């Protein structure tokens, strides 16, 4: 090992042994900027999270070098087996009943693999349209005709959780599938961590296939969980610890605290509450749409999703703001911190409303007014500084400085 290292230092004109900051200052700078952004802002996008140092180390290790599936080393086989074993254990699945493919590099690919495996040529897949809460990888459909309703391979979307923030009745989906002779696929990408911790209903009880991503509430690397790849094993081990259950419980408590505080401040919440890690603020009765609100939120360092809601007539002007608690819970946020976050969100939305009051409803004028009106900029700067100071008190998981 040490001879190997000595040799490496001797080859000093070989760029593959030089630190990134000397090889590529441009990318190094961007990494630093991104780290700063992540530390100073408040990540409220429900699908985002911060991985641990251990997961980051596995991702940046020599395992990266094994790209060829036909000539891979025994160590890779070992990792794959560990990965599969941990995945089944985590979701309390009987290896006799459930198999697991760990090769997928993302959730969308996992879905595509599942579709092509069960729906042959001209097979039908039923999923939710993007606007109704489906994911891009769920395809889209027009009107459902009789043929579709009876011969479909029914595919329910995990994103239903997203738009309703509510638990799903898997048994009803199962019953419909049994009626029409369809397979049931559960895409639990968003709630995966909650399911792993036993805090959300498990799709495994009713589904034929379950797909997921590993980097959302599960807090692993960017990959598919049921279709795993190597570094996933580390996050699966982390997910089996009692700490992980505490983490998932805190995610729920934080989402509830945020929801209550937002409601107290007079906002309406889709479905009137939340069962999971997400809260959707409805802006239809406010002076701003989600584009305008999110522009201000982002400008002050609050990162959220804009969401079209079924009642939105103009598909370019969503009325929903989706807030998620997993990422900030990874930064040790507790309920009272989320109460403060709710205050920040409320104040940012009010700034957006203030902009509309000055410039009217014309969307084109909004950014100009926001960024050029000195009085509004003063409010924005004050809020941004306050959020930065608040955010910087909290730890950031991962590798320091990277």
Give yes or no for a contact between 307 and 379, defined as CB atoms under 8 angstroms apart.
no
The b/e string for 291-324 (b: 16+ C-beta within 10 A; e otherwise) is: bbbbbbbebbbbbbbbbbbeebeeeeebbbbbbb
137 part of the interface to ligand PLP, by CB under 6 A: yes
106 part of the interface to ligand PLP, by CB under 6 A: yes
326 part of the interface to ligand PLP, by CB under 6 A: no
Q: How far is the CB of 50 from ligand PLP (least distance, A)?
A: 16
135 part of the interface to ligand PLP, by CB under 6 A: yes
Give residue number: closest CB to ligand PLP. Answer: 107
State which residue, 190 or 229, has the beta carbon closest to ligand PLP.
190
Query: What burial class does residue 138 get, using C-beta atoms within 10 Å of its C-beta: 0-12 exposed, 13-18 middle, 19+ buried?
Result: buried
Instruction: Quote the DSSP letter at residue 13.
Output: T
Task: Give the H or E element holding residue 143.
Answer: none
Interface segment toward ligand PLP; rule CB under 6 A; list 100-108, 244-252, 284-292, 369-377: 100-108
Interface segment toward ligand PLP; rule CB under 6 A; list 104-112, 114-122, 313-321, 351-359: 104-112
Q: How far is the CB of 42 from ligand PLP (least distance, A)?
A: 20
Q: How far is the CB of 209 from ligand PLP (least distance, A)?
A: 13
Q: How far is the CB of 213 from ligand PLP (least distance, A)?
A: 4
Give yes or no for a contact between 391 and 301, defined as CB atoms under 8 angstroms apart.
yes
329 part of the interface to ligand PLP, by CB under 6 A: no
Which 3-state string (H, E, C) describes 233-288?
HHHHHHHCCHHHHHHHHHHHHHHHHHHHHHHHCCCEEHHHCCCCCEEEEECCCCCC
Site for ligand PLP, residues 138 to 177, rule: CB under 6 A: 158-159
Return the beta strands (E) in 138-199 as ranges. Answer: 153-156, 185-187
322 part of the interface to ligand PLP, by CB under 6 A: no
Return d(Cα 136, Cα 278) in angstroms, integer: 19
Residue 77, classed as helix, strand or coil, is helix
Q: How far is the CB of 137 from ligand PLP (least distance, A)?
A: 5
Out of 47, 58, 296, 342, the residue judged to bind ligand PLP by CB under 6 A: 47
State which residue, 165 or 213, has the beta carbon closest to ligand PLP.
213
Q: How far is the CB of 108 from ligand PLP (least distance, A)?
A: 3
For ligand PLP, how many residues bind (rule: CB under 6 A)?
A: 12
Q: How far is the CB of 171 from ligand PLP (least distance, A)?
A: 20
213 part of the interface to ligand PLP, by CB under 6 A: yes
What are the CB-based long-range contacts (under 8 Å, 24+) for 390-394?
Answer: 390/42, 390/340, 390/344, 391/39, 391/40, 391/41, 391/42, 391/301, 392/39, 392/40, 394/328, 394/331, 394/332, 394/333, 394/337
Residue appearing with tokens 């990494």: 31
187 part of the interface to ligand PLP, by CB under 6 A: yes
Q: How far is the CB of 74 from ligand PLP (least distance, A)?
A: 28
State which residue, 211 or 354, has the beta carbon closest to ligand PLP.
211
Q: How far is the CB of 329 from ligand PLP (least distance, A)?
A: 18
List the structure tokens of 236: 């699966």
Q: How far is the CB of 158 from ligand PLP (least distance, A)?
A: 4
State which residue, 187 or 261, has the beta carbon closest to ligand PLP.
187
Residue 43, classed as helix, strand or coil, is strand
Interface segment toward ligand PLP; rule CB under 6 A; list 17-25, 183-191, 280-288, 315-323: 183-191
219 part of the interface to ligand PLP, by CB under 6 A: no
32: CB partners within 8 A, 6+ apart: 401
Which residues are near ligand PLP by CB under 6 A? Answer: 47, 106-108, 135, 137, 158-159, 187, 189-190, 213
């Amino acid at each position: 090992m040490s001879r190997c290292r000595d040799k490496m230092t001797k080859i000093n004109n070989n760029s593959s042994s030089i630190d990134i900051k000397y090889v590529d200052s441009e990318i190094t700078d961007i990494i630093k900027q991104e780290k700063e952004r992540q530390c100073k802002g408040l990540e409220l996008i429900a699908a985002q999270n911060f991985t641990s140092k251990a997961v980051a180390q596995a991702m940046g290790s020599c395992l990266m070098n094994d790209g060829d599936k036909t000539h891979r080393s025994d160590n890779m086989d070992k990792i794959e087996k560990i990965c599969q074993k941990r995945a089944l254990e985590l979701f309390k699945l009987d290896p006799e009943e459930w198999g697991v493919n760990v090769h997928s590099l993302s959730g969308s690919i996992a879905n595509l693999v599942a579709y092509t495996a069960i729906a042959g040529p001209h097979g039908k897949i039923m999923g939710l349209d993007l606007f109704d809460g489906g994911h891009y990888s769920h395809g889209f459909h027009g009107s459902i005709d009789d043929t579709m309703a009876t011969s479909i391979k029914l595919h329910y979307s995990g994103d239903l959780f997203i738009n309703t923030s509510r638990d799903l009745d898997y048994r009803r989906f199962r019953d419909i599938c049994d009626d029409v002779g369809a397979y049931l696929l559960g895409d639990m990408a968003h709630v995966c961590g909650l399911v792993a911790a036993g805090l959300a209903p498990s799709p495994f009880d009713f589904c034929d296939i379950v797909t997921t991503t590993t980097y959302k509430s599960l807090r692993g690397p960017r990959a598919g969980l049921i279709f795993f790849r190597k570094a996933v094993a580390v996050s699966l081990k982390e997910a089996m610890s009692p700490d992980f259950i505490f983490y998932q419980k805190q995610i729920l408590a934080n989402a509830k605290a945020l929801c209550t505080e937002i409601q107290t401040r007079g906002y309406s919440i889709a479905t009137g509450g939340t069962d999971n890690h997400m809260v959707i603020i409805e802006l239809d009765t406010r002076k701003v749409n989600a584009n305008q609100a999110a522009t201000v939120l982002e400008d002050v360092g609050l990162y959220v999703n804009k969401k079209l809601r079924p009642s939105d007539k103009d598909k370019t002007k969503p009325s929903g703001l989706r807030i998620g608690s997993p990422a900030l819970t990874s930064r040790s946020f507790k309920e009272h911190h989320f109460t403060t976050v709710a205050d920040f969100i409320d104040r940012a939305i009010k700034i957006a409303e203030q902009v509309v009051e000055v410039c009217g409803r014309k969307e084109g004028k909004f950014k100009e007014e926001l960024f050029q009106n000195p009085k509004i900029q003063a409010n924005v700067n004050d809020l941004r500084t306050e959020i930065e100071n608040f955010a910087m008190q909290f730890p950031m998981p991962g590798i320091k400085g990277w």
